[in-house]
């Protein structure tokens, strides 16, 4: 049995027939082939699958696709502008080497964008606490924090 699903993904109207058990992350990766959203733990603990749902960061491995009926989703691919320029947060991560293997990076970036939207004047402690739902097994977080601080300072802009 499949159910019709209608939503907006990265500004584009999307319709699909999905099995009621399909997770949002499966829809994004498998049906829409937007593979920047990663699957890390399948238990909503690592944050690699973080996307924005109606402007709020959510872990897409912990919700059914049908729960997003009528919603607006932004994935890591949707952060860049139409001309291919990276989002300032992506530019900051690149400038500060806020990644190593890169597996957690899409979820970190999506969470960081939400963090600064909620708390534009976040302290280092606020940033560290705001990233608690995201796991990086490579970096020790220092350059991730520096990346967010650089973006927050406004000294980085979108780049192609």
**What's residue 143's pLDDT?**
95
3-79 and 88-153 share one fold: no
pLDDT in tens, the chain (160 residues): 999 999 999 999 999 999 999 999 999 999 999 999 999 887 878 999 999 999 999 999 999 999 999 999 999 999 987 788 999 999 999 999 998 888 999 999 999 999 999 999 999 999 999 999 899 988 779 999 999 999 999 998 776 5
Assign domain 3-79 to its CATH superfamily. Beta-grasp domain (3.10.20.30)
**What's residue 107's pLDDT?**
96
CA distances from 158 to 78, 80, 87, 89, 111 (A): 13, 8, 5, 8, 18
pLDDT digit string (tens) for 17-42?
A: 999 999 999 999 999 999 999 998 87
Name the CATH code of domain 88-153 (choices 1.10.1040.10, 3.30.565.10, 1.10.600.10, 1.10.150.120).
Answer: 1.10.150.120
**What's residue 156's pLDDT?**
87
**What's residue 158's pLDDT?**
73
Q: How far is CA 98 from the centre of its chain?
A: 15
Q: Alpha-carbon distance 11 to 110, whole Å?
A: 16
**What's residue 9's pLDDT?**
98
β-bridge partners, 56 = 53
Domain ranges of the chain: 3-79, 88-153
Q: Alpha-carbon distance 21 to 52, whole Å?
A: 21
Place of tokens 């708390």: 119
């Amino acid at each position: 049995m499949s159910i019709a699903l209608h939503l907006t993904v990265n500004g584009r109207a999307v319709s699909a027939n999905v099995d009621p058990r399909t997770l949002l992350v499966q829809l994004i990766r498998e049906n829409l082939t937007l593979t920047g959203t990663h699957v890390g733990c399948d238990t909503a603990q690592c944050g690699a699958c973080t996307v924005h749902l109606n402007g709020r960061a959510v872990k897409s491995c912990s919700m059914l696709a049908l729960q997003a009926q009528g919603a607006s989703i932004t994935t890591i691919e949707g952060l860049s502008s139409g001309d291919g320029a990276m989002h300032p947060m992506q530019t900051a991560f690149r400038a500060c080497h806020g990644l190593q293997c890169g597996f957690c990076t899409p979820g970190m970036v999506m969470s960081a964008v939400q963090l600064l939207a909620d708390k534009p004047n976040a302290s280092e402690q606020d940033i560290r606490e705001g990233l608690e739902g995201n796991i990086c097994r490579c970096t020790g977080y220092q350059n991730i924090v520096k990346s967010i601080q650089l973006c927050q300072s406004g000294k980085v802009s979108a780049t192609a």
